[in-house]
Structures are given as C-alpha cells and as structure tokens.
Structure 1
C-alpha cells in the first residue's frame, strides 16, 4: 500500500515537473527572444540617434562655416569702417581748414574794401572837379593827362585786387561746398557701413543662437545615445547570462548541491524508478544552486516537501526537494553556488538530506555524470 502511495506521489511529481519544464522552456525561450528583440529595437533606435547626431553635426559645421564667413565680412567691414572714419576725419579737417581760410580771406577782403572806400572817398572830389572842368584849360592839359593816367591806373589796380580777392573768395566758397558735399557723402557711407555691420552682427547673433540650440540638441541626443548604449550593454549581459552560460559545457564539473553522502542513486529502471539522487546530510546544511539560472518553482509538492526548481537555459533544470526552508523567490535569478535553502527531513533516509534531480527536455539525466564528485 505504501509502495502504491509512493508510486502515486512520483507520478504526480513527474507530471508537475513535466508541466513546469514545458512552462520553463517556453518562458526561457521567450525571454531570450524578447531580449534579442529589445536589443534589435534598441540598436535601431541607436542608429536613428546617430543619424540625427550626424545631421546635427553637419548642420552645426555648416553654421560654423557661415559664422566664419560672417566674421570675415565683419572684419572687412570694420576695416572699411576705419578707413571711412579716417577719410571723414580728413574731410572734416579740410572743411575746417577751408572755413579758416575763408575767414582769413574775408578779413583781407574787408580790409581791401575799407581801403577802397577810403581811396574812393578821397578821389571822388578830384574826380568830380575834373568832370565839372571837363578838360580844363589847354594850359593844364599835361597836368590833366597825368591826373587821368594816375586815376585810371589806381582804379585799375584797385579793380584787379578786388577781382583777385573775389576770385579767391569764390574758390574758397566752392571748395567749402565741395568739402560739405564730401562730408555728407562720407557720413552717408559711414551710416551705410554701420548698417551693414549691424546687420552682420544680427546675423552672427542669430547663428550663435542656432549653434547653441543645436549643441543643446546634440547634448540631449548624446545623453540619450549613451543611455541606449548602456541599455544594450545590460541587455547583452542578460542575454549572455542566458545563452553563453551553457550548463552542457560543465558536464562532469558541476558542484554538489550540498555537503553529504550519496545514499540514493540514479536508477530509472528500478521499480519504482529513481530519477535522481538522495544525499544524507549532517543536520540542516546549506543547499546551493549548481549553476546560474532562474527560480521557476518555490513551493511544497506533495510527497517531496518544499521543492525549488531552477531553470538553467537550453532546456536544462535542476530540482531540490525535502528542504527545511528556502531563501529564494519564484522569478529570482540565482548565481552558481548561491545558497537557496537548507536541507530538511528526508523520509526515505529517516535523516536530514536532499533529493536532487537534473533534467533535460523533460527527461531525467544521471546527476552522477554531471556532478564533480558524489
């Protein structure tokens, strides 16, 4: 009767184990596929971010080229501005000199006019008397002729000096007008150059603002890119943990799940079949995971007490039964040699111990061929 109960327990356990195995395999495979999909999607996003960064970099370089051209133009305009300011200063100096010359000449002209007035004032009575006497007496002809020649010469000289003074005054006036025109044109040119410079400076500020905006975008994209690359590294690490740590490569060198003596050996042909090994321990000792993996079961199973099942990838999983307590949770990832619980009472041995199984594709394999020593 007890054998029938034990057999029933084993059948129930095997069915539960098979269902767990299927679920674990599907879960692991789906996890690997999901991680690969996430890595691919992230890489695509990284590619897009790099393209956007390249586009921004090219735009930034183009703006720097425009900025350099504008700065060159500003330098040329400033040079032209300095030349124009020098020219304007020279024109204003010439204008001031012309004004000074005009004032001097106007003073000299005033003196000439005053002298002429004085001379005319003295000469006019003589001239009037000559007109009244007309030619006078023949006896005074020679004297009259001398007076006439003297007066004519005096008038002529006075007229020449007056014409020279007037001509000089006209020249200075014309020159002054020319200088005024030059100054007006120079000031207009200066204003035009200043306007060009202001426009260039405005364009420069606009470009600098654009470059600042692009740099801010670049920094943002670079930070996002760094985050994406970190994500890829983490996902690759997780994928590597699931795919590169192949338990099959460690066959014959896996650590024992706990310290103790093997009392029950693998005999699948026995009746009832023994699909694992039983290890007797000296009290409640630590139970360790034989390999990296993920906890897929952490609960009691009728006939086997508390059971922990760990999936190791590639359709391999290990089972630890008759635990007094467990320190892991379902879904938790565990490291190789990580403590997962304590051994409890093993009914068949009537001592503390551990029942251990190793399965591949839902079929039990001999743990003695996988563990380093037994």
Structure 2
C-alpha cells in the first residue's frame, strides 16, 4: 500500500513537473513570439518614419514646383500682354504701311504729271533752242524783241527746273517713306517672333512642371498607400501582441471587429421607448456571424422575441449576444476564437429583411457597442 502510494506520488509529481515544463515552454514560446512581434512593430515604425520623410520631401518639391508654376504663369500673362501690344503695334505699322502705299500711288501720279509737264515744256523749248542755235538770234528785228524772247525762255527754264526739283523731292519722299515702313515692319515682325518664342519656351516649361507635379502626386499617392498599409500592419501586429500577452477584453476596447458585414440601421439608445440596448445590422442575405472575441458559449437556443440566440461569455463579466440567427454552428459550453463563425444571419422583423441584432453587456448591463467596435 505504501509502495503504491509512493509510486502514485511519483507519477503525480512527474506529471506536475511535466506540466510545469510544458507551461514554462509555452510561456517562453509565447514570450519569444511576443518579442518577435515587438521587433516587427519597431521595424514597421522605422519604415513609417522613412515613408513620412519621403512624403515630406515630395510635398516640399510639389510646393516648390507650384511656386515655379505660378511664376511661369505670371510671366506668360505678362508675355501675352506684350504680345497683344506688339500685335497692336504691328497692326498700326501695317495700317501705316498701307497708307504709305496709297500715298505712294498718289505721289506716283503726281510724279507722272510733273514728268508730263516737263515733256510739254521741253517740247516747247526745243524748237526755240534749235532756232536760237541756227540763227544765233540773227532773225530778231530789234533788241526789245530779243529781250522779250530771252525773258520768256528764262521763265520757261525756271518753271521746268522747279517742276524737276518737285519731281526729285517727291521721288525722295516716296523712297524714304517706303524704307521707313519696311524697317518698322521688319522690327515689329522680329519683336513678335521673339515674344512668341519666349512664350513657347515658357509654355514648354509649364508643361514640364505640370508633368513633374503629376509624377510627384503619383509618387505621393503610392507612398501614402504604402504608409496606410504599414499603419494597418502595425495595428494588426499590435492586435496580435495584445492577443499573445492578454486575452482581457478591456485591452481591446475600440478595436473589436464587427460581428458581421452589414450596415447599422438601429443604434444603441437605452433611453428610447422602448429602449434599444444594442445595434441592428441589415445584411445582404444570410451571411456569416462571427464572435467578436475569445470566449465560451453560454447560450445557444431560441429566445422569445429574438429568434435563435447565441450568447458568449468573454470573461471579466462581459457577454456578447447575437440574435435573429437563421442557424448556429456552436454548442453550449464550447470555447470559441475571435472571428470564429458561430452562425448565419436570419430574418430581422424590425428591418423586414435579413440582419443581426447584437448586444454587448457588462454584469448584465448593456453597454454601447460603438465604444468597443472598430469602424
């Protein structure tokens, strides 16, 4: 008897020792996993800082580009004003040029008239001059007649010289006028070409900047998405860390998952008449209902006014209730994991369609799910 008792003690002691070793090993493994997660969180935070620095640099570059773009747009506006003025100047020069051409035509007519008059004068002078050369005024009867002839011829020569001078002046005016207008036209064209070239270069710079801004925005969007992904990863890692270090529901307030995919149609309002002690979800057909946290099923049956109901105890006097289920996949006394599917949504009379009524209770007192669930 003593031998059996001693042997029994040895077996129990060995079992306890083995359980102790197993517990220690599990705790060490859990601690090691927690440390790995902490290291991963640290690495992710470093990546986030790097992404933030890159985003800050890109934002500065984008701001600088917008400053350059504003400067270029101001210069383009100024260039366009100059273009308008130059185009007006060119239009005026062209108008003056056209007026000069018209004046040229008038001057040409005048010149042709003067030349015609000269021809007439020369036609009159030539016979007289010829006779003078032949007769050497020998045919004149007296001095008075010779004197009249001389005066008359001198007058004709004077008029001819005057007309010739007029013709020369007119021709010079025509030439000078056309040269001036031609020079002005060329200068105006060169100025306009130069301004247009400057505008083209500015527009090219503007397009280049806009392309650069688009690229930076694309890079920023990519970095922002990457940053969001990193933040999501950190949230998941923190959640895992909490899960490893503690399954205390209080540590997860504000980060618990929704019990199902759907739209909240009925909100928590205990002061209403009748009071609303939970939330009502409208769903697209019979979809999965999941446990919001680790726990044990304490009720899995129909409940008057709520259809099929599953109630899960999460420890520390916290309970979650899932009502109007079409079916349940758990048994009373069964332990469930967080996010484990416990049933399907069914017909929700108040919503006149498929849905889920959900409550969260502490010491049988309903608490607002909005403060516990992540949105």
TM-score interval, normalised by the smaller of the two chains: 0.5 to 0.7
1:93, distance to aligned residue in structure 2 (A): 1.8
Unpaired stretches in structure 1, ≥5 consecutive residues: 250-255, 260-286, 292-325, 339-374
* Higher mean C-alpha displacement, 92-101 vs 57-66: 92-101
**Alpha-carbon distance between aligned partners in 1 of 2:314 and 2:217, rounded to the nearest angstrom:** 51
- 2:96 alignment partner, one of 94, 97, 119: 94
Contact 2:121 2:160 (C-alpha < 8 Å) held by counterparts? no
Match of 2:204 in 1: 202
Cα deviation code 1:236-268 (max 9, x no counterpart): 223234446569x9xxxxxx9899xxxxxxxxx
Q: Is the 8 A contact 1:49 1:225 kept in 2?
A: yes
Structure 1 pair 104–258 and aligned structure 2 pair: CA distance change class (3 A)? closer
1:119-134 correspondence runs (5 A): 119-134=121-136
1-structure distance, mates of 2:296, 2:122:
145
- Where does 1:157-176 land on structure 2 (aligned, <5 Å)? 157-176=159-178
Superimposed CA distance per residue, residues 298-341 of structure 1 (whole angstroms, 9 cap, x where no aligned partner): xxxxxxxxxxxxxxxxxxxxxxxxxxxx977xxx9669xx9xxx
Would the alpha carbon gap of residues 257 and 232 (structure 1) be closer, same or farther in structure 2, given more than 3 Å must change?
A: closer
Distance 1:166 1:151 in 2: 22
The 5 Å alignment of 1:1-374 reads 7=9, 9-136=11-138, 139-243=141-245, 245=247
Would you say the 8 A contact 1:289–1:334 is kept in 2? no
Deviation at 1:137, TM superposition (A): 5.7
Asked if structure 2 preserves the Cα contact closer than 8 Å seen for 1:88 and 1:183, the reply is yes
Structure 1 contact 105–165 (Cα < 8 Å) conserved: no
Partner deviation per Cα, 1:93-130 (whole Å, 9 max, x = no partner): 21222122112111211122122212321332122223
Aligned residues between the structures: 269
Q: Which deviations, in whole Å up to 9, do the C-alpha atoms of 1:18-48 show, x marking residues without a partner?
A: 1211111102211222222121111111111
2:137–2:146 contact (8 Å) kept in structure 1: yes
Greater Cα radius of gyration, structure 1 or 2: 1
Query: For residue 350 of structure 2, what is the aligned residue in structure 1?
Result: none
Deviation at 1:208, TM superposition (A): 0.8
Q: Could you say if the C-alpha distance between residues 216 and 157 of structure 1 is closer, same or farther in structure 2, counting changes exceeding 3 Å?
A: same
Deviation at 1:143, TM superposition (A): 2.0
- Give the superposed CA RMSD: 3.4
Aligned to 2:365: none
Give the Cα separation in 2 of the matches to 1:87 and 1:288: 90
CA contact (8 A) 1:102 1:169 kept: no
1:6 Cα deviation from its structure 2 partner? 5.0
TM-score between the two structures when normalised by the length of structure 1 = 0.64
Structure 2 residues without counterparts, runs of 5 or longer: 252-294, 299-311, 317-332, 343-375
CA distance in 1, matches of 2:238, 2:23: 25
Deviations 1:139-178 (A, max 9, x none): 4321221222122112212221221222122122112112
**Bigger relative CO (Cα 8 Å, ≥ 6 apart):** 1
Paired residues of 2:93 and 2:185 also in contact (CA < 8 A): yes
